[in-house]
Chain A
Amino acid sequence: MEVKKRKKDISGVLSLTIVRLMFFFLVFILILLLGKIFIEGIGVISPEFLLDEPRDNMTGGGIGPAIFGTVAVTLLMIIFTVPLGVFSAIYLNEYAKDTFFTRVIRTSINNLAGVPSIVFGLFGLGFFILFIGKGLDKVLQTGLLFGQPALLWASATLAVLVLPIVIVSTLEALNSVPKSHRDASYGLGATKWQTIRNVVLPQARPGILTGTILAVSRGAGETAPILFLGAAFFLPNLPIADLCIGGYCIPMINPTEQFMYLAYHIFIMATQSSNPTKTLPLQYGSTLVLIALTFLLNITAIIFRYRFRKILGRL
């Protein structure tokens, strides 16, 4: 019998080559852009640049207050969002049955992740500042303390924005805890809550941590939501106040003040600076710091998750 030789699929090979070329073109462009930021920015980076405050009408000095503001806001954000996200995921994975209602909740988690960030800004203004803040002022008789753009409301808004990230990665972590472990715990007479607390949550911890890191990275990079929630062009003082209990005073983040924010700082320097060309090195420097921060966080999260999955794979 004669075997017919397969025709060489020239157009197919060509198409595959194009797909390959397209991919490496993408990688090339991204490396080019990141390389440009790195080369232009690395010369500016110094301890003074990272710690000093802006000088000479924002044409010199460093980005210290902007870094401080970013850390302060994301810290508060984490305090708000992580418990909420973890509890939410525990409900969905451990308690809820697959009903119409839980499907609606799952859909709204995905939908929340897709709401435009500027809409979160409007939401923060309408809900947190005007409704809750003004309401607090009325109840507590504090005049105009809470009902204005401030660090607290920026963190609260960002907490809502990153909530889906925390929920989704906690869900993944909870889901990967084998059912046999839960059954073993029940078999020993443990209640549901004891099982969750002593068996499920400890194993899910790396996943929760991954979600937290990703949330910080996302929150630190967001600019649009905080545009009118208290981000300031320049502030002479850090948003710090002394918290005094008895005779002891410790400096704390003051959540009712405005703040500088690294991402906002880049935006404002690039578009509304008095001398954009003179400050260009500073802009590159700030951008490099922000991108290094988010990359570092993301890489940590990726490595964490990789290890976590590997351990689970071995089980």
Chain B
Amino acid sequence: MEEKDFYSKSAESKYAKKIRKFTRVKESAIKFFFAVNGTMALIFIILIFIFLFKEGIRALDHIGWLDFLYLDRTDASGTVQRVFQWYPTSEEPRYSLIPLIIGTLLTAIPATIISTLLGVGAGIYLSEVANPKLKEFFKPMIELFAGIPTVVLGFIMLVVGASFFNDLLNPANRLNAFVASIGLSFVIIPIIASLTEDALHSIPNELRMASYGLGATKWQTVSKVILPAAFSGVSASIILGFGRAIGETMIVLMCAGNAANMTVNIFLSVRTMTATIAAEMGEVSQGSDHYFALFFIGIVLFTITFFLNLIAEIIINKMRKKNTF
């Protein structure tokens, strides 16, 4: 009988009850504290969005939507000419984002193509070809190269790469979209390589065994079984790489020549959206149209990369669900 009393609640002293209550309150307070901290990443994303918009949307006070695309200039003779120029400091400021967007694509797309070839190749090598010992050595190497500061890559492309390609290809401008895209590749290749390796590695070994069992060679297995099975993961890595290429600043600022040319010639100087913000934000007076226009570019940049990241994330999540039955 005594034992029963010991376990029943009524036998609990008032003091013990108080402690229990205090512990419960304390535990939920701690949980709340962590929950607040836990939402920080989300809060920062929202804050970035709000504060870019807060400043950027004011660009539309004086600059129309269409002015961000083109400007119809009337010259002395009265003829109207449609110009696509980024020239915000002129007396008749021109705010067309078209040359900047073209500049961004002209550096990001070639960089993504080069990086896809080399990065996916490196991923295949690491996951399927290299022997385990070499793999253990090279995997951290790739991580190490992913950690090279972009300003270092920009610097080396500026002093070595640009001269090398100048002698080799004799381009119209020494600093051009091509040099910048080579520089960008150094940033993106490690990203694509390591994500491709992850995607290939997560393919169940049974598939490889089944393929070999049917008499397929190694390359047939890789190209007809493994790569198609990992297609979504590989494409997610390419999308992420493309997003990085669009958002990268220092390399294009140092190597792309920074002339806002309307061109599809990869050997001409171009100016990207990121480089424009980086180069002009320091000198612009706060509260001017130009200042708000730079924030507007920030909105465009943030929106593009946000959706690219989101798409890649969704693809990767779907892949994970599929691979873990």
Q: Which residues of A contact B (CB under 8 A)?
A: 6, 9, 11-13, 15-16, 18-20, 22-23, 25-27, 30, 33, 36-37, 83-84, 87-88, 90-92, 94-96, 104-105, 107-112, 114-123, 125-127, 130-131, 160, 163-164, 167, 191-193, 214, 217-218, 220-224, 227-228, 263-264, 266-267, 270-271, 280, 283, 287, 290-291, 294-295, 298-299, 302, 306
Contacts and interface: CB of A to CB of B under 8 A. Distances in A.
B102 to A, nearest CB: 18
Given A118-B247, A125-B281, A160 B147 contact: no
Contacts of B313: 107, 110-111
B35 A221 contact: no
A267 B51 CA distance: 27
22 contacts: A6-B215, A9-B217, A12-B218, A12-B219, A13-B217, A15-B223, A22-B117, A26-B122, A30-B145, A88-B40, A96-B35, A116-B247, A117-B247, A117-B249, A120-B48, A191-B27, A192-B31, A193-B30, A223-B149, A223-B150, A227-B278, A298-B147
B248 interface: yes
Contacts of A37: 152, 156
B179 interface: no
Contact of A127 (B33, B37, B51, B247): B51
A217 B143 CA distance: 12
Number of chain B interface residues as a range: 35 or more
Interface stretch (B5-13, B60-68, B302-310): B302-310
Interface stretch (B75-83, B89-97, B203-211, B238-246): B238-246
Nearest to A265: B151
B125 interface: yes
A119 B125 contact: no
Nearest to B284: A228
B1 interface: no
Interface in B11-29: 23, 26-27
Query: A interface, by DSSP: helix, strand, loop or mixed?
Result: helix
Contacts of A220: 149
Contact of A104 (B42, B150, B156, B158): B42
A121 B277 contact: yes
B125 A23 contact: yes
Contact of B274 (A118, A127, A218): A118
A53 B12 CA distance: 71
Query: B interface, by DSSP: helix, strand, loop or mixed?
Result: helix
B213 interface: no
Contacts of A94: 34
Contacts of A227: 278, 281-282
B38 A19 contact: no
A9 B220 contact: yes
A271 B305 CA distance: 27
A78 B250 CA distance: 23
A223 B154 CA distance: 11
Contacts of A104: 42
B124 interface: yes
B168 interface: no
A108 B45 contact: yes
B303 to A, nearest CB: 10
Interface in B297-325: 298, 301-302, 305-306, 308-310, 313
A18 B118 CA distance: 10
Contacts of A263: 149, 151
A222 B47 CA distance: 21
A111 B38 contact: no
B121 interface: yes
B12 to A, nearest CB: 15
A228 B249 CA distance: 13
Given A114-B244, A114-B247, A118-B249, 20 more contacts: A9-B219, A12-B219, A84-B40, A88-B38, A94-B34, A104-B42, A115-B305, A117-B248, A118-B278, A118-B298, A118-B301, A119-B48, A119-B305, A127-B48, A163-B40, A223-B250, A227-B278, A283-B159, A302-B143, A306-B140
A19 B129 contact: yes
A118 B277 CA distance: 7
